[in-house]
Structure formats: structure tokens, C-alpha cells
Amino acid sequence: MGGVRTALYNYLYAKQKGGDFIIRIEDTDSHRFVPGAEQYIIEALGWCGIIPDEGVDMATGQVVETPSERHPHAPYRQSQRKPIYRKYAEQLVAAGKAYYAFDSAADLEERRAAAEAAGETFIYNQKTRLQLRNSLTLPAEETARLLAETTDWTIRFKMPEDTVVKMDDLIRGHIEMNTDTLDDKVLWKRADELPTYHLANIVDDHLMEITEVIRGEEWLPSLPLHYQLYEAFGWTDTMPRFAHLSLLLKPVGNGKLSKRDGDKMGFPVFPLRWVAADGTASHGYREDGYFPEAFVNMLALLGWNPGDDRELFTMDELIQAFSMEKVQKAGAKFNPEKARWFNKEYLRQKSDEELTELFLPVLSKHGIADADRDFVLKVVSLIKERATFVEDFWTIASYLFIAPSQFEAFGVKAGAAIAQKPVDPRAKVYDDSLTAPFLAKDAEKFWNAENAAMARETVLSLEGKTFADAAAMSEAIEGYIKEREWPMGKVMNTLRLALTGSASGLGIADIIFLIGVPEAAARLDYAAERLG
């Protein structure tokens, strides 16, 4: 989610300013490379409607490798740009802004341990660099030999001494930091001939003419180094402006939102379902039934507000309203219930026809492959206000498509649909004496011979009559019961139990108007057969 929000803010800012949004695959850290992540990113952004102007051909879903008029800065994978980075790293060495370092991992670990034992922290910087094994301390001949004969050396940036770096962030304002608190970061590694994030991004941002960089606050400590790199290259006049977004926070307590929070509380933190290398799968918003526009709208308001009470925005409206001035510095606490609310609102906005098309595959998945479209449209129109997800339509009103006599065959548990939440499979749903698909507590409360007789007579009173709508049928049902001075609640709940398997659900007239009087009578007969 955090990565998508970062991409979204970049996209909104670029579109609002009439600029271009570029996708660049930063795959130079071989230790953190994740197979399948690149295609996942592209597919996730495409699902969200965050379409790049450069970097990815959305028609093929591939990262562009060859320059063209539309993609002039290709290739867009940093691993395919390796020769570029070494050239610029060597340029810094030649200018005295960087140096070759030959310290082994074991040497550096020994230094760290010694410093820790002395109650200090080892930093590779102006205080220690002249005590270490690098081109600043070794003879030129030894340096040349090591460069030619070994492969475990790096190029480190030579951080200036006692210099105040003055920086401006679009969100956090003016920041100053003294270079004496910073270390000499590795820029390039001979072992794999790849740059680190710092060198690769500064070089690529310059060559790709990037004007703004919006990224997560975890990169804020690196901003002084990046400022110094731009100065070292002589690119300060074209240096992009930076903005560092606050973290997404967990729903309860403090701290950054994580996959564990989602697993624990039952909500997704990934845009699409993700399967890790060890085979563990994580829920995705797409697979959990969220609309992409609801997901995007929800994300946009996690850390930004339009300055008023408005909450629902199309992508075009977000582009028009977005501003960096209204992006908050503090972390944004994620609320999974609010995410559901957004989806519910977007579901309500969709036409009955569109929702019908979305519901038909759900019905097919549940074994109803030949549903009449006009009937489905009527059902959708009746229940859409009760639903949060399209899948809820089945949960809410499966009994409109199948009778209680078919519940077991279709895997429907009585009462589960009406409650609009899954029934715990460990719960004892049925009484031992009630093997029929009727919720036991409701059957015990409402089903008896007297109630059943009144319910049956009420349904049969509707035979042969024509009603303009469910409201007219409801008036006839209530009138019939009142004329006979029968207890309205008992008759209605008994009817609903026979029709739906539970004493909860849609209005009796709504149900009978949809399924028809003969079907309603048949369900009463079945209930009498199973319940006595």
C-alpha cells in the first residue's frame, strides 16, 4: 500500500503540472531482488489506473529497453544501465570527490566490534578514512595493483568536512545538517559492477530530466548525501525538488503498517494478491473484491486532504485537487473499516446494470450458471444498499436463487447470508434434531403447527392475484393477517424462516414478489416436511 501511495502522489503531481510520470525499475541491490516483483508492480499500477508516460509499455506490460520518441530515456531497468554508473563514479574519483576503498567485510566488522567495546560507534568518515585501507592512504602503485588484481573493492563518496548542507523539502520545509555526522557512503561495487541506490538514482534523475522526486520518509536521512552528490557533479542547477512522505501507520498502537498487521486483523496490505518465495500468500485488495477506484481514493486521503470535508474523488478530480502543500508531515493511521466504507460508497454509485454484469460471474462461481439476467438485475437493485462488495450479493440473497432445500447442495449455511458475515465453521449451527437447512434458534422460536398454518394460508391468499410491485403485495399480506387478528410478528418470521432458512433478511413481500407465489408455497411445504 505504501508503495502504491507513493506512486499515486507522483502521478497526481505530474498530471496536475502537465508533466510526465516515469516508471524506473531500481534493481541494483542483488541481495533484495525478488522474482516476479517487477511484473507485480506493473500489474498493480495498471489495476489502479496509475499509467506511466515513460518506462513501461502498458500494451505489453513490459519495461522498455530501447529508446524511442515516447521512451527517450530507455533502458529503464537500472541493471541494464551498468556501464553508465561506473563512468560517473570514476568521474567523482578523478575530481577528488570519491575514492577507492579496499577494506574487506571482515576488516570493517572488526572495527565496528572494537568501537562497540569502547562504547562508541564506528563510522567510515573524515575521522576514520585516513586510518583505513583506501586510495587516500595507500601508495598509487598499490592502489593500481589492487584495482587490477582484486574485485572486492568499492568506490566511496568523500563527504566534505564540517559543511552545513542546506536542504528544502516540499513537505517538511527547510532542513540543515552538518556533514560531520554523515558517513562516506559506498557508490559503486566492483564485485557485481552495480551502483548503490544513491549513485544510480542521482545519475538517472539527472539523465532522465526528473524535476520532482516524491518518495518515502525512510529516504530522508539520505537527502544530505544526494545534495552533496549533485554539487560534486556540478548539477545543482538542474537538481530536482524532493518530497518525503510520512509513513502509513498501523490501525492500533504505534508503528509502521506491516503485513503482520493485515494478517492479524484480517485486511489486505497489498494491492494484488502476493505469493512469497516460501509459498505464503497475502491477500490483495483486488482479490478481496475492492474496486480499484475505491482503493485509490482511500489511499489518496492517507496523508493528504483537500482542505474540506469532501471524501469521494475520481482520478481526474484527485489530479485537479492534489497539492503538496496539503500533504501532512505526520504519519497517517490506516483504518480498515474506512477502506470498506469507500468500497461501499463506490458500489452504491455504480448502476444496477454494471453491478449485474459483475454479479453474474459470482453466481456462476456458486453454481448458478444460467441465471436470468433480468431477474438478477431486480435482485441487485433490491439489495445493493446492503452490500459492501459484489460478493456480498450472494451472501445476502442466495435464497433468491436457490431454495432452502438446495442449501446443502450449494454449500449455503442457513443464517450465514442474512447476517452478512461468515459463519464460524466450528460453531454448532444446527440443533441435533434439526438436520434441515434452517437456523436452529429461529426454527425453535417461530416454527410450530399453528404458525405454519397461518403462514401457509397467507401465501395461498396471494394465488391468482396480480400486484404492480412488492409494495402492493406487502399491503395485501399485512391486510390479510390483520383481518384475521393473527400475530403479525409470528406469521412474518415463520414465513421468512421457510423462505430463507432464517428469521432475518429482506422483506417478505420483496422475496415473494421475486420468487413467485408457487415457489413460496413450495418452500413452506418443504419447511413443514423437514420441521414438522
User: How confident is the model at residue 405, as a pLDDT?
Assistant: 83
Q: Using a pLDDT cut of 90, give the percent of the chain over it.
A: 85
Residue 398 has what DSSP assignment?
G
Confidence of residue 7 (pLDDT cuts 50, 70, 90): very high
User: How confident is the model at residue 437, as a pLDDT?
Assistant: 66
User: How confident is the model at residue 30, as a pLDDT?
Assistant: 77
User: How confident is the model at residue 414, as a pLDDT?
Assistant: 62
Report the chain's mean pLDDT, rounded to a whole number.
92
Q: What is the pLDDT of residues 162-171, one digit of tens each?
A: 999 999 999 9
Q: What is the pLDDT of residues 315-348, one digit of tens each?
A: 999 999 999 999 999 999 999 999 999 999 999 9
d(CA 96, CA 92): 6
What's the rounded mean pLDDT across residues 17-34?
Answer: 91
Alpha-helical regions (H) of 104-170: 105-117, 140-149
Strand partners, 100: 155
Q: What is the pLDDT of residues 349-367, one digit of tens each?
A: 999 999 999 999 999 999 9
Task: Locate the DSSP E strands across 208-354.
Answer: 212-216, 241-245, 248-249, 274-275, 281-282, 332-333
Residue 30 corresponds to which amino acid? Answer: S
Residue 373 corresponds to which amino acid? Answer: R
Strand partners, 195: 188
User: How confident is the model at residue 426, as a pLDDT?
Assistant: 29
> What value does the CA radius of gyration of the chain take, rounded to a whole number of Å?
33
C-alpha pair distances (Å), 167 with each of 45, 67, 212, 256:
31, 34, 14, 26
Given a cut of 80, whether residue 421 has pLDDT beyond it is no
Residue with cell 460453531: 427
C-alpha pair distances (Å), 207 with each of 21, 83, 158, 193, 309:
15, 14, 23, 20, 41
What's the rounded mean pLDDT across residues 230-249?
Answer: 97
Confidence of residue 417 (pLDDT cuts 50, 70, 90): very low
| Strand 332-333, strand 248-249: pairing | parallel
- Residue pair 248/256 in contact by the 8 Å Cβ criterion: yes
Closest alpha carbon to 76 in 28, 5, 4, 13: 28
Q: What is the pLDDT of residues 272-295, one digit of tens each?
A: 999 988 888 999 999 999 999 999
Given a cut of 60, whether residue 80 has pLDDT beyond it is yes
For 498, the enclosing helix (H) or strand (E) is: helix 488-500
Q: Using a pLDDT cut of 70, give the percent of the chain over it.
A: 95
Q: Is the dihedral of CA 103, 104, 107, 113 positive or negative?
A: positive
User: How confident is the model at residue 422, as a pLDDT?
Assistant: 35
Q: What is the pLDDT of residues 254-273, one digit of tens each?
A: 899 998 899 889 999 999 99
Given a cut of 80, whether residue 433 has pLDDT beyond it is no
Burial of 452 (0-12, 13-18, 19+ CB in 10 A): buried
Which of 187-201, 371-385, 433-447 is predicted with the least confidence, judged by mean pLDDT? 433-447
- Residue pair 172/215 in contact by the 8 Å Cβ criterion: no
> How many CB atoms neighbour CB 23 within 10 A?
22
Q: Please confirm whether the linkage preceding 518 is cis (ω < 30° from 0).
A: no
Q: What is the pLDDT of residues 195-214, one digit of tens each?
A: 999 999 999 999 999 999 99
User: How confident is the model at residue 429, as a pLDDT?
Assistant: 33
What's the rounded mean pLDDT across residues 479-505?
Answer: 94
d(CA 206, CA 62): 23
What's the rounded mean pLDDT across residues 436-463?
Answer: 89
- Residue pair 237/266 in contact by the 8 Å Cβ criterion: no
d(CA 124, CA 131): 10
d(CA 33, CA 49): 26
User: How confident is the model at residue 35, as a pLDDT?
Assistant: 87
User: How confident is the model at residue 407, as a pLDDT?
Assistant: 81
Q: Which residues participate in catalysis according to the annotation?
A: 259
Q: What is the pLDDT of residues 83-122, one digit of tens each?
A: 999 999 999 999 999 999 999 999 999 999 999 999 999 9
Given a cut of 50, whether residue 418 has pLDDT beyond it is no
d(CA 53, CA 68): 12
Given a cut of 90, whether residue 45 has pLDDT beyond it is yes
Confidence of residue 415 (pLDDT cuts 50, 70, 90): low
Given a cut of 80, whether residue 253 has pLDDT beyond it is no
Residue 129 corresponds to which amino acid? Answer: R
